[in-house]
Amino acid sequence: MNTRARRLILPLGGALIATGMIGATLTTAATAQAKPSPVKSGSLANGTDAKAIAGSWTAGKLKSAKSYLEDSSLSGKMKASTRKASADGKAGSIAPQGAGGKTAGSSKNVNLPTNVGKVFFQVDGKPYWCSGTSIQSKYHNLVATAGHCVYDTDKNKYVDNFVFIPGYYQGKAPWGIYVGAKVNLHDDFSVYEDYDYDYAFVNVYNGVKQTGEKIVDKTTYDAYKGPKWAKDEEISKEEYQKKYDEKGGETADAWSKSTGTEIVMPWGTKGGKKVLKEVSKEDFDKAPAWNSKVNYSKAPAKTSTEIVDEVTYNKYTGPGYKKIVDSAYTITHYFVKYWVQESTSVKYYKTVFHIRTFQDAGRLGDNVGGQGFTWNRSTKSKYFSFGYPTSAHLDGDKVYTGETMKWCYGQAGAAPAVAKYKAEEQLAIKCAFTPGATGGPWLIQYSNAKRTGYVNGVVSLTLDTDGNKRYDRITTPYFNSDTYGIYKYAANLWTGKLTTS
């Protein structure tokens, strides 16, 4: 892993211990900051498209999304890696930010953090999700997750329509939907697909909350970028004529449609005509033989039998009667003749245009707070990890639904080396999470009352290390000075306000 050697030197300007800011290197919105060499940054969405992206994630779509496994699980007898992660400089920390100073109070149970949730996105047009968390930043607009949840290494491109939903629960977004604006990850992950750098920091726009719907004119409807739909409503002839005269012709406000009907009449009624209709053998048998006193009857002269091949015979679902005769596949068609009068009616309509309305929910960190951040910590630290596991164990036992947040707690140790992902220096804790928790935070010094701690990792791989078909470990990249450099760069990026009107 020679790529690591050239990444170890990064000017930090000294360690930052438990500060409420992102350090003396904070920039202003108008000041361009230098990008540290390992950072790969890119755009996920612009402000014009963000509202439409937020609106596209309906409750139904959120529930239909699948866990984005990206094959990030492995089974077999594994031993801890002989290469171990280690600090490459002084340890440092950025203090967490609570949401409005609220605390959860004392409890013997683990109080789940409100700023952990799901990240949703699309790959090849299909909806997927991982776990993620809000993390402290200058503009309160930053999300931490796994690198493979934002960057498709197969296609070497970012995922589409990325959003973060803190506190996600069964299709609900209690604090709004936050659309991804900018993504920042380690260059070694995007270039070498090295899971020792499988983390990402995503800047998001202000949250969006759905407020209802509004009827608008066609011009507004056509220009609107968010969710919208049109519905036809029947109107009276008088309303139609008024709008027709006002507009000088048919428009979306008034248009007509002619419909034709056939009424079965006594045979020979003036103005009528004979029509044929194919029916089932049962209906044909029920129909009377022809005479002038009935309005419909059998049409035996039209009855015909065709011989078809086996494939056509098996696929046929029409009214014809299927029968195998002397190994031949036959379909017999029966017809009834009717005497009908045709009539035409005209109905009048207007098209009503609807748009979905939203309101600005404010900045992510202002609503749910942000976890702290720390780097170059002991490789034997004790961690809480949170996420949304969903998949079944390899033996088929499905413990989790993926709709509710779960947690693990344990002391870290060296993770097994996983050559498939070039993972040689990850950490692991014992945990029965199944895939789905990927991207969820590893927190040290977690305060049960404040629901905050310090992000010192994200779930990367889910492992069954003894080959018994039960997941027993989750891993994280080690957060070193490179990680801090990427975080610091992302924590100072401004995404601007999102227009929701």
Report which of residues 481 and 327 the model is more confident about: 481
Average pLDDT value over all residues in the chain: 86
pTM of this prediction?
A: 0.73
Q: Is the pLDDT of residue 4 over 50?
A: no
Give tens-digit pLDDT for 72-87.
777 777 888 778 888 9
- 230 against 103, higher pLDDT: 230
Q: pLDDT confidence of 119, banded at 50, 70, 90? A: very high
- Strand 73-75 to 116-123 pairing: unpaired
Compute the distance between CA of residue 300 and CA of residue 396 in angstroms, rounded to an integer. Answer: 60
With H, G, I as helix, E, B as strand and everything else as coil, classify residue 243: helix
Read off the tokens for 27: 């920039």
* Domain covering 21-26+33-206+363-491 in this structure, CATH number: 2.40.10.120
Q: What number is the average pLDDT over the span 267-283?
A: 89
Residues 392 and 382: their CA atoms lie apart, in Å, by: 26
Res 380: pLDDT: 95
Average pLDDT of the residues in 435-441: 93
Decide if 335 contacts 59 (C-beta within 8 A).
no
Q: What is the pLDDT of residue 260?
A: 77
Confidence at residue 265, expressed as pLDDT on a 0 to 100 scale: 86
In whole angstroms, how far apart are CA 446 and each of 110, 112, 372, 414, 451?
A: 10, 10, 10, 22, 7
Q: What is the per-residue pLDDT for 500?
A: 53
Give per-residue pLDDT as tens, 283-316.
999 999 888 778 889 999 889 999 999 999 999 9
Q: What is the pLDDT of residues 332-384, one digit of tens each?
A: 999 999 888 888 788 899 999 998 888 888 999 999 999 999 999 999 999 99
Q: What is the C-alpha separation between 122 and 158, in angstroms, rounded? A: 10
Please name the residues in contact with 61: beta carbons below 8 A apart, sequence gap of 6 or more: 127
Average pLDDT over residues 226-253: 88
Question: With contact defined as beta carbons under 8 Å apart, do 33 and 23 qualify?
Answer: no
Question: 37: helix, coil or strand?
Answer: coil
Nearest to 58 by CA among 215, 141, 177, 213: 177
- Domain residue spans of the chain: 21-26+33-206+363-491, 215-255+348-355, 259-345
Give the dihedral sign, CA 184/178/140/101.
negative
pLDDT at 15: 38
Cα distance between residue 423 and residue 83, in whole Å: 10
pLDDT of residue 249: 84
Angstrom distance (rounded) from CA 2 to CA 368 = 40
Q: Which residues contact 20 (CB under 8 A, 6 or more apart)?
A: 95, 97
> Which are the contacts of 178, defined by CB distance < 8 A and separation ≥ 6?
143, 163, 164, 165, 166, 204, 205, 206, 207, 208, 364
Closest by Cα among 178, 167, 175 to 403: 167
> Over 80: is that where the pLDDT of 6 sits?
no
